[in-house]
Amino acid sequence: MQNIQKRLLLLLSIFIISIGINTSCTADLAQGEGDYSRIRSISRPYTFDFVSWEAQAISSLLCERICNRGGSEHESRLRSQIESVLAENRIPLFPPLNFNLEEPPHLLVISPRDRIFYLDKILLRQELSAQEMEQLEAQVDKLGLSSLVVSLGGFGATYPPIVDGNGSLDFVINAAVEEWLHQYLAFRPLGFLYLLDSLGIKQDQDVIIMNETLAGMVSEEIGSQVYERYYAASEKAVADERNSSFDFDTEMRLTRRNVDLYLAQGDIEGTERYMEERRQLFWSHGYRIRKLNQAYFAFHGIYGSDPASVSPIDADMKFLRAESPSIKDFLDKTSGMKSYTDLVKALQK
C-alpha cells in the first residue's frame, strides 16, 4: 500500500508540473500582449486537451498497479529492457520509467521574422491534417510572425511520456529513454531550470539547449546499448531512399549560416525566398521538409546536435563526455549545472 501511495504522489506532482508547462506562456511576444491573445484565440480549436489525456492515462496506470494488470506485452518488455540497461549504468530509476506508444501532440512554434528566436510555443492536438496545419500557420503569419506546426517524435511533459510508436525500433527506444530523461532531469538543477523556462519564470535559451542536448546524448548512448543487446541480431537493415551522395548536415548548416547573414542585412523577404529555394533542394533529395522558415530554425536550433543549430553547446558537451569515465559521471556533472557558464568552467578544469 505504501508503494502505491508513493506512486500516487509522484503522479500527482508530475501532473501538476505538466499542467503548468502546458498552460503557460514561454516568452513575451515582441509585438505585445495583443498578439499573444490573438495567437491563443487562433490556436484554441487545435489545442491539445491535456487534462483529459492525463486523467485517462493516470487512470490506466493506477488500474495497472492496483489491479496488477500490465500494459501491452511489447511495451512492457521494452520498458524492462531499458530499465535493465539504466540499472547497469547505475542511473537511478526515478521517476519510474514508463511511456505510451501513440501519436504525440503537435507543437506550434513561433519566431519573429527578422531573427531566429524561439519566441513562443503552443501544444496542439494529436490528430492534425496538413490542411489544418497550414491554415493555422497562415493565420499566425498574418500577425507579422513566422510559425511552424511541428510533428513531435516524443513528448515528456505528460506522465507517462508519449512516444511515437510508428518510427523504427531504434528510434522508439531512443525516444522512450529521452522523454524519461527529461522527467529525470526535472528533479535536478539543470532540468528544474528548464521547467522554470517553460513556465515563463526564468528564461534562458542556453539552459533549453543544454537540456535537449544532454537528453539526446544520453538517450542515444543508452538506447544504443539496449538495441545492440536485445535487437541488433534480429533486425534487418532498411535501405534509405534518400540520395546518399547528398550531405544533408553540411547543406543545412550552410543554409542556417546564410539565413543568419541575410537577416542581419535586414532583407526578410529575400531571406524567405532563399529558404524556400533551399527547401525545394532538400525535398528533391528525399528530405520531406514541409516548410523551411525562421520558426523551423528556432525549433531545431534548441537541439545542439541538429545541423540547423549554431550553438557551441553540442561540441562542448561531447568533449566533456569524452573526458568523463562513464555515462553516469557525465550525467551527474551536467545535470547539476545551472548555466552555460558552469559548462565552460567544467571544460576548463
pLDDT in tens, 199-209: 778 888 999 99
Q: Are residues 221 and 255 in the same domain?
A: no
- Retrieve residue 16's grid coordinates: 501538476
Instruction: Tell me the average pLDDT of the chain.
Output: 87
In a domain, 235, yes or no: no
What H or E segment, with its residue span, contains residue 215?
A: helix 205-230
Q: Of 186, 203, 230, which one is at a domain's C-terminal end?
A: 230
pLDDT for 163 beyond 60: yes
In a domain, 47, yes or no: yes
Going by pLDDT thresholds of 50, 70 and 90, the confidence category of residue 36 is confident
What is the residue type of 42? Answer: I
Q: Are residues 225 and 322 in the same domain?
A: no
In a domain, 239, yes or no: no
pLDDT at 162 (0 to 100): 95
**Separation between Cα atoms, residue 259 and residue 152, nearest integer Å:** 24
**Separation between Cα atoms, residue 10 and residue 51, nearest integer Å:** 17
Residue spans of beta strands (DSSP E) within the chain: 100-101, 106-112, 120-124, 145-151, 154-155, 162-163
285-299: average pLDDT = 96
Q: Are residues 47 and 179 in the same domain?
A: yes
By DSSP bridging, strand 154-155 and strand 120-124 are: unpaired
Q: Cis bond leading into 189, ω under 30°?
A: no
In a domain, 53, yes or no: yes
**Separation between Cα atoms, residue 119 and residue 145, nearest integer Å:** 10
pLDDT for 64 beyond 80: no
Q: pTM value?
A: 0.85
In a domain, 59, yes or no: yes
Going by pLDDT thresholds of 50, 70 and 90, the confidence category of residue 195 is confident
Q: Of 230, 262, 282, which one is at a domain's C-terminal end?
A: 230
Q: Are residues 220 and 254 in the same domain?
A: no
Q: Are residues 216 and 256 in the same domain?
A: no
Q: Of 199, 230, 261, which one is at a domain's C-terminal end?
A: 230
pLDDT for 244 beyond 80: no
Q: Are residues 195 and 277 in the same domain?
A: no
Q: Are residues 220 and 280 in the same domain?
A: no
In a domain, 241, yes or no: no
pLDDT at 5 (0 to 100): 47
96 by Cβ neighbours in 10 Å (0-12 / 13-18 / 19+) ranks as middle
Q: Are residues 122 and 86 in the same domain?
A: yes
Q: Are residues 206 and 120 in the same domain?
A: yes
DSSP secondary structure of 36-88 = HHHHHHHHGGGB--HHHHHHHHHHHHHHHHHTT----HHHHHHHHHHHHHHHH
pLDDT at 58 (0 to 100): 82
Q: Are residues 89 and 149 in the same domain?
A: yes
Nearest to 290 by CA among 72, 75, 136: 136
Going by pLDDT thresholds of 50, 70 and 90, the confidence category of residue 82 is very high
By DSSP bridging, strand 100-101 and strand 162-163 are: parallel
Q: Are residues 58 and 8 in the same domain?
A: yes
In a domain, 238, yes or no: no
pLDDT at 13 (0 to 100): 52
* Domains of the chain: total: 2
Beta bridge partners of 187: none
In a domain, 237, yes or no: no
pLDDT for 348 beyond 70: yes
Domain that holds residue 121: 2-230
Q: Are residues 189 and 305 in the same domain?
A: no
